Structures are given as structure tokens and as C-alpha cells.
A and B are shown apart, each in its own frame.
Chain A
């Protein structure tokens, strides 16, 4: 039935992995095949075993992990019995891994050109100069502008997107048969993500390599993959053509996942009465920012980076403003100035009629009760030595009316508010999932019942379902306690259901500012339009559909 050229390039057969005797299995009975010139997507939430799967294919399981059952065959030959040296030859040469956070994957003390050349020389005999020229060539192929100069750059001098391109170039050095991309674009701006994935898939198609794309974004699956596998708890729940999966998943869990991803943010309800609030709010806004400026000096130069350049906006009571922009646009700096983590260099901030721009820290401290912030990266913003209970109780010290018992009670209330079980009170941050950590961050910010909260990227790097839950949670809280909020995000689409107003930021300036629906309906700036189009819709593109059709025909012929 199957054409001979469709013999599987990689066959995983009933693979099970665990971490030591008696521990629950990280993978149980996973089977799939990957053919040449095929992109297989693997989707699942955090902890579904996606990364363990990718690592077991390379025999790079974290300490304690071992394959207890099953087989991995490459072109029909099992790879499990191979010696360490033979495995080493396999890695990079035939199977290449592209991981998350490219910057961390690169050696910080070597130039990227030297690193690529090193990989080249490991795989084929060539001279130093030749390898360097080839490295520059590769950088050009992955679309890096001015490759000769960039080859001499160190990883910290590159942006996240550029670093990811370098890692892709390295992975492609030895023309591998199989490329494993493990959440390769996590944490990149949506616009960059599309560019990087386009490049990756295009390069693999040129080489005829098989690709395993591991992600939690169904938009990526719909856009780039031929087949998709849905994973949960170490099992594959569904495996099939992407087109058929998008039409109607057979499995209940896959359906929940797809539905959660498909939920389009509903426009803010009751814009009419909201308009009334806005008028009133504009009369006396809770927070008013006038011509804010913040400069950072550039080392070894008299020039400065204008991180915030003449930014003005205001937020009324019960109102939400979304501050949208790509990384480096200065939006996080604005948030940090508002809560006085940074001193601004010009302009003014008025909170509830009080000018807080240059207020001494001691006088400002009581105001912190009313002005809170949820930090971007949930893990690093929590003290690793503190249990959850202490972390949530910390801001409660700002409330002099609460004794130890009252605080204890409030901690329990707050855990409940962010839908976390009380049993987590004694857990430490490293024992929590990213979603739980994020909720702890939110609970901390809400502990004192603030009037104004800055949410810095509240939904990035979270699973689809968790993201939806967090947005729901914030919206409910706003309805319940009527706080105002500033939402800082790079994903314009995610704020549609939350924000009354949107300010689009670029290079430290607000380029577009207005009511959310107006901006969604008629964006006036090209930049805004680009941000709006960056998110991948969960439907197959024309090109993908044609490919699927061609494959179907080839299969039946």
C-alpha cells in the first residue's frame, strides 16, 4: 500500500522511559514514524513528555532517565545498542537537535563563526580558513544580514531571533536526516517566530530532511506540519494528518486542546457603558503619565539608548490599558518606572492625584499597597529559598492592620483566588510548574488589594489552556474588585478581550494609541498591522493543503 520511498526514516516503537525504579513513566508506549521530507508536529502541555521524547531519540536523557522498553530505529537499524562513540557520530550528523533559548545553547566565550566552524570541522575534514568561510556562508543562508561581521560576534551581542538562526545554521551543518526542534521559538516575538520557523522548514525541505517540531502552539502545527501527534502524560493520544485533525479531532483531550486554542478573544462587552466610564475616568484618571523619558547610557560612549522617549498615557479607574510592542521596544521599562523600580529621567507620573515621580522611597512605600506589579519571568521573580506561603505573605506586611493570623488567613484566600490548592503552601518555587509560578506571582501582586496592577507579559511561555485560564482569571478579578491594569505584552491578539485601550510601542515611542476595538478594526500604522498579522491562525495554509493533497495522491497511486 505504501510506496517504497515512504519507508520510515525514523521509527519509534512502543518506547517507554522512566526515571528510576518505581517512579511514574515519563513516556509510556510511544510509537510513531517519521518519513523523509515530512514535518511531524508533537503538541502537548508542559509535562506531557515532549522534551523527554526528543532527548531519548538522541540518547541525551537527563540523569536517572533510562529507556525501559521499546526500540528506536533509524532507516530500519536500531540505535539503542550502539556504543557511545557511534551514538556521538549519529548526533549532529544524522539527527540534529534545536533547543529552546538559543542564547543559552551557544558558548558565551566563543564567536558564533568559530562555533559553527568547530561543528563543521567535527563532521568533515577541512582547514580552519575553509571552515570559517563555510560558516560565514551558512550564516548568510539562514538570512543573517552582514554575515562576515556577525560571524565575529559573541552570542550576547545577538538578538534572540538571530541566536536561534545561528543554532539552526549549526544544526544544518552536517545535512542531517532528522531535525528535532524542541520549542525552538519559545520566547521569541511573534514576528520573529514566523521568520525563524519559515527558515527552518524551508531549509529542511530543501535537504529533504524529516522534521519533528515540538511545540505547544497549534498555530505552528497548522501552518508547518504534515502530521501531528497529541501528547499527554507520556502517551500519544492522537496521531494523524494535520488537515484531518483540524477538521475534527477523534480524541476528547485533543478536542479540548484545539477548542482552547481556537477561542478567539471576545471583544470587550458593553463598550457603550464602558465609554461612560472612560469619560469619567478621563476627567480624573487614576494613573497619568506625562512625557515620560528614560535613558540608558551606552558603555564607552556619550550616547544614550532612549528606552522611553516622550511617552504619555493615562488609565482611569477600572480601566485596562494594553502596552504592546516587540522586545526591546521599552514597554517593560515603562512598567518598571511606574512601580519605581527605575527612576525616570524626565516627565512625570501621577497616581491618584499624587505626583510620585520623585517621591522619596520611604514616602512611596505605603503607596505600594495600591500599586503592584506581576513580573515577567515567574521563576526568577520568586525567591528560590522561600516557600509559597512566605512568598504570598510578604506583601501583606505592607498592611499594618494584619497580624500573623490574619496574614495566614489571607494567604489561604489568595491561593483560592488564583485557583491553587492549599497543599502548595509549603512548596518551593522550583517544585511548581510555570503556570503555578505565574499564579503565585499574581497572588503576590493582588495580596494587598491594589488599585493598579502592572502585568508584565502575563501569558508568555505558558500552555494554551493555562494562558486562557490566566486571562480569564485576570478578567474575573477585574470585574470583582474593579482594579485598573496595565498589560504589557508582545501579543496584540491576546489583549483584545481584556483591554479598553491599546498603546502600541516601538523604539521607546508610542506609535498608536486608542480604543481597542478601533485599533483592531482600523489600525493606522503598518507596524500595528504587522503585529496583528504575526499570530499564526489555526488553519492550514494553502501551501500546506496542496502538499497534503499531493502526498495523498502519491500514497494512493
Chain B
């Protein structure tokens, strides 16, 4: 297994880049206090909107907070929100998709209609409603995102299951005495998982962008909490005045995070499938 992994990495430079970028984020999360001497939430009105310099590597924003420190600290919050949201959605959405794909009946259609409802609802209205009920907490942002992502995972899995359940190997397994449970979880699920794995990387990227959007409409995290999307939107007003650094650096951080998960998603997809594992 380790040999396969090493060989895979040697043939796929993209996967190596993905792992390196993920490593950078892990370092930012673990060692944030050692990477910067500034506090991410301390305003310094005298140093408002300073361009990048030796003192402030990425410059400062309108309230004089150090952007470098904020970008580093925001990694914690952003990854926390997106990873919990995606993990919750995956853990709930995948089995639900498997069940409604395998057993088709009234209950399954009902679940699908609920998904239709969730997905047709404007996300920001949903976000604001939930946050106003539960309070403006980071966790609530995660829950909102998870609710939104569950149908996505369930749908991709269901679509796969619908075609897989008709495949001859399922009939063969039934002849070999496999129970419904075994057919679902041991036969169909491993074959259906690939698009869901790809969906993970897409969702992590989407989660970061949606967190930003929710913060922008006031249903997400509040200033001065360091959060990339919030930082981008707060810098947007100054952008036309030539103050580019306020939005650019958190924007780059989003790019790095989304890119790393996309690359790792590709790798996980290849490695999870024995028919592509050894292909160059």
C-alpha cells in the first residue's frame, strides 16, 4: 500500500502540490502564534490601510489590523467551519443517498422532495433564519452549510446506486447469498463513493466561499473574527481606490485552500479505485 502511494506521488506532481499546500495550512493552524507577533483582532487606527512593508508583511486593513496575522489565524476558523460542515454532510448524506437509491418507494420519494425543498430555498434566507434562531455562532454557520450539503452528497450517491444496483455483479452477489445490507455497504458503496469523494473537495471550496457570503450578509461570522471571506468583502470597498492588499491576500488563501482540496480530491479518487490506482 505504501509502495503504491509513493509510486502514485512520483507520477502525479499535482497530488504532491496538493499535499504541500495542505501542509502549509496545517502549519498555519498549529503554529499561528509563532508565525506572527501581531494579534489578529487588535485594531490600530493609526496604522490604517498601510501597504505591505517589513512591519506589516501583507499590509493592514481599514481598522489597522495586520492582514498577515489575520490570514494566518483565519485558517483555523475557515477550515474548522468547512471541514465540520462537509464531514457532517458526508456522514449523513452518503448513507441516506445509499438507502433512498437502493430502496425505492414512497419514503424515498418523500426524502427526495425534502432535498428539493432545501436546495430550492435561497441559501442566504435559510442561513439568516437559522442563525437568527440559534445565534450567531461559528458552529451555526457549519450547521447551515451541512444542511445545504447533505442533499448534494445524497444525490450523487443515489444517482450512482441507481445504476449500480442493476449491474450483474449485484445479482451475482445476491446469488452468493449476500444480504441487502452486505450488497449496499460492501458491494455498492465502494463503487459509488468516487463521485462523493470528488464532491468533498468541491464542497470544501464551496463552504469557504459560502462562509464568506454569509458573513457578508451578516448571517455568518462577525468582525473582528478573522475569516477569509469576511476579509475579502471588507476590502472590496477600498479595491477601486487602489488598495489591493486588503482583499488580495485572504483571496490567495482561499485559492490555496480550495486548490489543495481539489488536488487531494483527485488523488483520493484515483487511489480509491483499483482500476486506476496503478495507471500513470
Task: Provide the residues of chain B in CB contact with A339, threshold 8 Å.
Answer: 175
Task: Provide the residues of chain A in CB contact with B172, threshold 8 Å.
Answer: 373, 375, 381-382, 441, 444
> Is the pair B168, A377 in contact by a Cβ cutoff of 8 Å?
yes
Roughly how many angstroms separate A384 CA and B192 CA in the complex, as a whole number? Answer: 12
- Cβ contact of A380, chosen from B169, B174, B177, B274, cutoff 8 A: B169
- Chain A residue, CB-CB nearest to B176: A395
> Is the pair A382, B176 in contact by a Cβ cutoff of 8 Å?
no
> Is the pair B190, A397 in contact by a Cβ cutoff of 8 Å?
no
| Majority SS at the chain A contact face | loop
> Is the pair A373, B275 in contact by a Cβ cutoff of 8 Å?
no
A375-B172, A381-B171 as given contacts; A398 in contact with B177, CB under 8 Å:
yes
Interface set of B (CB-CB < 8 Å, partner A): 167-169, 171-179, 187, 190-191, 273-275, 280
On chain A, which size bracket covers the interface? 20 to 34
Roughly how many angstroms separate A382 CA and B275 CA in the complex, as a whole number? Answer: 13
> Is the pair A394, B176 in contact by a Cβ cutoff of 8 Å?
yes
> Is the pair B177, A428 in contact by a Cβ cutoff of 8 Å?
no
- Chain B residue, CB-CB nearest to A397: B177
> Is the pair B168, A444 in contact by a Cβ cutoff of 8 Å?
no
Q: Identify which of residues 331-386 in chain A touch chain B, using a CB-to-CB cut-off of 8 Å.
A: 336, 339, 341, 365, 368-369, 372-373, 375-377, 380-385
A428-B275, A430-B274 as given contacts; A382 in contact with B177, CB under 8 Å:
no
Task: Provide the residues of chain B in CB contact with A373, threshold 8 Å.
Answer: 172, 175
- Cβ contact of B167, chosen from A341, A380, A394, cutoff 8 A: A380
> Is the pair A383, B274 in contact by a Cβ cutoff of 8 Å?
no
> Is the pair A383, B169 in contact by a Cβ cutoff of 8 Å?
yes
CB distance from B59 to the nearest CB of A (A): 48
- Which 6 A-B pairs have CB atoms at the shortest separation, nearest pair first? A395-B176, A398-B177, A385-B190, A428-B274, A381-B168, A381-B172
Task: Provide the residues of chain B in CB contact with A64, threshold 8 Å.
Answer: 280
CB distance from B171 to the nearest CB of A (A): 5
Task: Provide the residues of chain A in CB contact with B190, threshold 8 Å.
Answer: 383, 385
Roughly how many angstroms separate A301 CA and B60 CA in the complex, as a whole number? Answer: 72
Q: Identify which of residues 364-419 in chain A touch chain B, using a CB-to-CB cut-off of 8 Å.
A: 365, 368-369, 372-373, 375-377, 380-385, 387, 394-395, 397-398
Task: Provide the residues of chain A in CB contact with B187, threshold 8 Å.
Answer: 383
> Is the pair B177, A381 in contact by a Cβ cutoff of 8 Å?
no
CB distance from A156 to the nearest CB of B (A): 16
A375-B168, A380-B167, A380-B168 as given contacts; A385 in contact with B274, CB under 8 Å:
yes
- Chain B residue, CB-CB nearest to A376: B168
CB distance from A374 to the nearest CB of B (A): 9
- Chain A residue, CB-CB nearest to B275: A430
- Chain B residue, CB-CB nearest to A380: B168
A383-B187, A383-B191, A384-B191 as given contacts; A394 in contact with B171, CB under 8 Å:
no
Give a binary string over A427-451; 1 marks a CB under 8 Å from any B CB, 0 the rest.
Answer: 0101000000000010011010000
Q: A383-B173, A430-B274, A444-B176 are in contact. List 7 more A-B contacts (CB 8 A).
A: A368-B176, A375-B168, A377-B168, A383-B191, A384-B169, A395-B176, A430-B275
> Is the pair A341, B275 in contact by a Cβ cutoff of 8 Å?
no
- Chain B residue, CB-CB nearest to A399: B177
A383-B187, A384-B191, A428-B275 as given contacts; A369 in contact with B168, CB under 8 Å:
no
Task: Provide the residues of chain A in CB contact with B176, threshold 8 Å.
Answer: 368, 372, 394-395, 397-398, 444, 447
> Is the pair B275, A394 in contact by a Cβ cutoff of 8 Å?
no
CB distance from A356 to the nearest CB of B (A): 14
8 CB contacts below 8 A, A to B, read A341-B175, A368-B177, A381-B168, A383-B169, A385-B274, A395-B175, A397-B178, A428-B275
Roughly how many angstroms separate A447 CA and B174 CA in the complex, as a whole number? Answer: 14
